Amino acid sequence: MKPRHLITESECCTGLTLSLVDHDGRHYLECEGRQVDASHLGLPAQSLVALMCRPFRPARQPRLVFLGLGFGHAVKAAREALPQAKASFVVLPEAPDLPDWLSIHLSGNPLDDERVLIDVSSPFSPLGPDYAESQGIFADLDHLDSLHPKSWAIDSPEVLANYHERLKFGGLLGLLSSRPSSKLEKELRKAGFELASELAPLSEKSKKNRTLYLARKGQYHRSR
């Protein structure tokens, strides 16, 4: 087993220290000792984004918003699922330096696409009017849990109302969680979302699952 190697670190949007670590050929993002993301654990995010993108394949200018970047698993999946030239993928990264880290240290940069836009606002701040009529909003809740300020909670009525307001009718809020949350499900429905959930394995060889939530502004029908 190779030793852990700290590649670089920086201050994240909430003032905590975000670190990029290499261990035995794999990359990890850590926040003061807690794992935020790993380069080999992107399957659940890719599965969820693939589901999110299906209804928007006919759209001319679909826009997806990513609350947090991690290693860009979700952004990469969206780029592949929505080939439209006028699609846009807006990322609110955890730290201003993180996009550069991916470009420098990853063999394949998930942001290497002119349709990817970086917004240096905090992913925990309310989305402003510029985000109105978005097709999708994506967040990995376990990822954000390592970083979020005490004043922020995904299941708060104020947070969910902001996302509901910024989505167009039929837009999807996609949330990843390590386990189901009855409180979150209740608050999503109270906020005006129709909810569907599925499970996806943590990785191709893993027996552990993550919960995929698809919350639609309007009634959700899965596309096949």
DSSP class per residue in 98-113: HHHHHHHH-SS-TT-S
2 inside domain: no
The answer as to whether 12 is a domain residue is: no
- Among 82-86, 135-139, 198-202, the minimum mean pLDDT is found in 198-202
14 domain-assigned: no
Confidence bin at 90 (pLDDT 50/70/90): very high
Give the residue among 151, 154, 127, 125 at the shortest CA–CA distance from 142: 154
Task: Report the CATH number at residue 58.
Answer: 3.40.50.150
Question: Structurally, how many domains does the chain consist of?
Answer: 1
* Residues 96 and 123: beta-carbon distance below 8 Å: no
**Is residue 8 situated within a structural domain?**
no
Is residue 7, in this structure, part of any structural domain at all? Answer: no
Query: For residue 25, is pLDDT > 90?
Result: no
**Structural domain includes residue 1:** no
For residue 1, what pLDDT is reported?
Answer: 56
Please give the model's pTM, rounded to 2 decimal places.
0.93
Residue span of the structural domain in which 146 resides: 40-217
pLDDT one-digit tens code per residue, 31-44: 988 889 998 889 99
